[in-house]
Every structure is written in structure tokens, then in C-alpha cells.
Structure 1
Amino acid sequence: IGLIDSLSTYAKVNKFGFIETPYRRVDPETGKVTDRIDYLTADEEDNYVVAQANARLAEDGTFLDEDIVARFRGENIVVKRDRVDYMDVSPRQVVSAATACIPFLENDDSNRALMGPNM
């Protein structure tokens, strides 16, 4: 869900009415981030370790760093690269399309960031 009442970027509603968002699958055997996209609900996401979209990747799709900033069951954690199941598609997928238009959102006052998309 977006920062306000609109869907976040890349999100969609499935046939059961649940909101899903896309993630890039990490191949467990090779450790490579694949181009395969899986849409997961919030409940499904809780079962997986999800790396941030800005994690550094080598040309072959493997993680460059040994320790990866990720989230698991709603908590931000640091894990070894072999524990990552999915990777976010984009750093902007947690905000709505209107919110994504705010320049330097991460450095903005939270009240201003919430007000901007509603204008």
C-alpha cells in the first residue's frame, strides 16, 4: 500500500482483492538475482528475506557484498547474501506514483511528504 490512500508503485490487486507487489527471485542454488518476477501479498512476504532494490550486484547478478541489508517479517536486518530469497524491484515501490514525484523524498519533512501527493 502506498504512503497515502493510493496504491504504491508497481502494486496490483489480485483476484481475491489482496494487494500484491513484485519481487525479483533469487536463485537459491547460484545466488543470482533473476529476472523472474513473483507478486507476493504482505502475508506471503513475511515468509521470505527480501533485499533492498539498491543492493549492489555484479554483472552476473550475484550480490557484491557479503552482508546484505534486507527485511524479514517487517524488521530491517543484515543477513549473509546466501540467505536472501527475493529482491525489491525498485527503491520507489514503497511509495505511490504521486509521492514518487517528490524530489529528495528521503530528506523531506514527513508532514510535507504526506501533504505533497494530496495536492
Structure 2
Amino acid sequence: MKNILLIFLGGGFGSILRYLISTQTQKLWTINSFPVGTLVVNILGCFIIGFLTSYFFKNDNYLKYLLITGFCGGFTTFSTFSVENYSLWQNQQYGILLLYVLISVVLGLVAVVIGMKSNILLS
């Protein structure tokens, strides 16, 4: 139960910080319709999860639930996606890595389109 509370708290904080960083970045750097705010959050999230994963690999404790699963999960799931891909790369599972990236991006985009079309039909 303690782990769930830590994930909850970290996720809430990560989500709020994602919103603040993304909106402020987008206000500072408007480049046509390019989502600079989301890009900054995703890259920053990847750096943070890489740093934390490396640290907790050596020092396993309960804070990984607060910081990795909670904070990074709330901040951006792109960071989790990236660290999983890095793990596949390190384990030389290049075929699975390529398949995972392609399926995630293509099916993710298809799911968004289907979801949007379904929502239009319900309106």
C-alpha cells in the first residue's frame, strides 16, 4: 500500500510539472505548430528516467516508486518507452526494438485517429 501511495504522489507531481513546463516552453518558443513544449518534456523526462534508473539499479529502495514509476510516469510515458527501448538495445534485441518502436508509433497514431473518429460519431 505504501508503494501505491508513493506512485500516486509522484504521478500527481509529475503531471503538474509536465503541464507547467510544457505550457511555459510553448509560450517562450513558438515555432509554427511544432509542439516544442511536449518535445522538451519528453526529452527531459528521458534524461530524468535514465539518471534515476541508473541510480536505482545500484541502490534499490522504495523511492524508485515515487520517482520512476510515479513522477516519471506522470511527467511523460515517453521516458518509460525510451528506457525500455534502451534496455532492448543493450540486450541486443534489435528486431524486438525495431518492432516495438514501429508498432508503438504506428498503432498509437492509428488509435488516436480511431478515438477521434469515434468521438465525432458520438457527438
TM norm. shorter chain > 0.5: no
Higher relative contact order (CA 8 A, sep 6+): 2
Give me the TM-score of the superposition, normalised by structure 2.
Answer: 0.25
Larger relative strand fraction:
1
Larger radius of gyration: 2
Larger relative helix fraction:
2
